[in-house]
Structure 1
């Protein structure tokens, strides 16, 4: 049955229109609300009120994640076949090693390779322990020596393998890709899944270092998240854009105050009251609230990445250290620049409103 008409308009279409309107109201009355739109509105209002031209606010170049070649570590990988097939049978490791040495095993995803390394090292240690409880024969003594040598080699190799399969892996390069546009609003919430995936990998690294077993299926969930996310790169881009926009706003305030005071004799005028309205009703609820969340997102992201770095049992490659200094440090690079930009902008507002006795809270 066709829907009834109401004033020449189908009831169904009218209902859908009301649904769209309600969703817009719930979502903040704007389908185009974004950090970029908020900064554009803020800067244009400042420029009009201060009667100054808006300076360029082009964000500086984003820093790309180091290439795989500059990150990977060389690994000593002796073939376990040098122990001999008979000895591997005695250790119960023939199937495991054969599976790893197969064509599919050589191209296995990182979670399978990490799980294999944990199972192999655990198996070798167990075999070595069991030999101590058996009759001391020449063959056993020879196998003990071979196992001791292999276990030591694997102990040295496992930390390097973990590094290559985490911070030097393709998943990490994708996670920090700067190709996509900057993040939207609520940057902290958008990074929750990626932060949790990094934390789980860090836990796996500690388990591996302690000789525990890793579950490939559990690890695969973390890798799937990281391979499907570009959060790290987008967050860096968002911080750089924020720095550029804040610096542009600060320059406008300083340019106007250098030309002549906004108020004389600390007496508010119409321009000062308009500025005060922009500060309270535009900068505070729109820009400053976004910046607070962005700063929190940066702090949470740096902690998550640091947990994975700390779980490594090897020193990071120089290429990673340089990248970390510029993009993942609170004291240098992108995040230090954002903190500085916020402080400078706050100071400029204090100077401007201080001329007019219109400081917030007064």
Structure 2
């Protein structure tokens, strides 16, 4: 019976390995490679597996350390006119302590809003010197900490982290509705970040959670990056075949890279939004995030996936231009 189990395992592994090449994004490149090889009377194009994206930094490396603010509830009660006692009490209960990062973000911003509003009202005049000083110090502390709180809320959320998952596939098709909803999710995080010190701007808890849920539905950052890596690999392989052809009298059938053009538009739009959000916070970004951003997300670094793809595409277009276009298309 043991041989049957081993046979089943081997069969399953073979199916999984075969399935890698059946991914829609890969099939498009297989078709194009075969077209080029046929046009040039070559047996085929030597192919290799593209690299995967790097690991997203560990939690401890991507978060900013924020000292815990401690004070007795008696002292907090003395500031009850600021309407923060029930807010802090809810935060300190058992459920409040295990709230997800998004809810902690909402709590900290609401606390800052109430403290700032209170400090700029006539309440401080009614407080004792000691309580007035306490209110001032607490307001200053929470104001200084808010950008780091906002940063941690995003980078500690499972929804954000999942967007960079290595356990993903290259983006095969660009669904406009999906891309739009994902961009709207990033835009809401951007607006929360941009308006974090705006007393008149009110965050919406349900909107925030819904947008985070949208991000969790698809690891779009990873899919875009892996699609760029795949495209770069396949273009580089095609370039090698074209470059070694001494006889440039062969005609090439027209290349209709509409799917590649959609990838270019989506990747540029998505990476621009992601980089803008990462750069929005007035904080010293953790070194690990700086390195990850430069290596994988940058639109300027020639060694990042976007830059490597652009180089491979430019070279491919130049190499194709050496050959005439077949007239029977």
TM range (shorter): 0.7 to 0.9
Q: Following the alignment from structure 2 to structure 1, what is the Cα–Cα distance between the partners of residues 23 and 216?
A: 28
Q: Following the alignment from structure 1 to structure 2, what is the Cα–Cα distance between the partners of residues 33 and 142?
A: 67
Name which of 239, 243, 253 aligns with 1:250: 239
Contact kept, 8 Å, 2:53 with 2:225, in 1: the verdict is yes
* Aligned twin of 2:314: 343
* Aligned twin of 1:34: 24
* Aligned twin of 1:225: 214
**Where in structure 2 are the equivalents of 1:202-351 lying within 5 Å?**
202-211=190-199, 212-257=201-246, 261-263=247-249, 272=250, 275-276=251-252, 278=253, 280=254, 283-284=255-256, 288-332=257-301, 333-351=304-322
Q: Following the alignment from structure 2 to structure 1, what is the Cα–Cα distance between the partners of residues 147 and 50?
A: 38
Q: 1:50 to 1:344 in 2, by over 3 A?
A: same
* Aligned twin of 1:144: 132
1:132: Cα distance to partner?
Answer: 5.2
- Deviation per CA, 1:193-250, whole angstroms, max 9, x where unpaired? 2221111101001221334442222211111112222111011111100111111111
Aligned CA-pair RMSD: 2.2
Contact kept, 8 Å, 2:53 with 2:296, in 1: the verdict is no
1:166: Cα distance to partner?
Answer: 0.7
Larger Cα Rg: Structure 1 or Structure 2?
1
1:187: Cα distance to partner?
Answer: 6.1
- Deviation per CA, 1:93-132, whole angstroms, max 9, x where unpaired? 2211100001100111233212211221122223323445
Contact kept, 8 Å, 1:77 with 1:157, in 2: the verdict is no
1:44: Cα distance to partner?
Answer: 1.5
Q: Which consecutive unaligned segments of at least 5 residues does structure 2 have?
A: 1-21
* Aligned twin of 1:45: 35
TM superposition score normalised by structure 1: 0.77
Do structure 1's residue 158 and structure 2's residue 146 form an aligned pair? Answer: yes
Do structure 1's residue 172 and structure 2's residue 143 form an aligned pair? Answer: no
Do structure 1's residue 110 and structure 2's residue 95 form an aligned pair? Answer: no
Q: 1:86 to 1:331 in 2, by over 3 A?
A: closer
- Deviation per CA, 1:251-295, whole angstroms, max 9, x where unpaired? 1111222xxx232xxxxxxxx3xx43x2x1xx22xxx21111111
Q: Which consecutive unaligned segments of at least 5 residues does structure 1 have?
A: 1-31, 264-271
- Deviation per CA, 1:134-188, whole angstroms, max 9, x where unpaired? 45xxx52211111111111111111111111113432211011121211112266
Q: Following the alignment from structure 1 to structure 2, what is the Cα–Cα distance between the partners of residues 64 and 291?
A: 26
Provide the aligned length of Structure 1 versus Structure 2: 302
* Aligned twin of 1:182: 170
Q: Following the alignment from structure 1 to structure 2, what is the Cα–Cα distance between the partners of residues 209 and 184?
A: 40
Q: Following the alignment from structure 1 to structure 2, what is the Cα–Cα distance between the partners of residues 57 and 229?
A: 26
1:306: Cα distance to partner?
Answer: 2.5
**Secondary structure of the structure 1 residue equivalent to 2:322:** helix
* Aligned twin of 1:62: 53
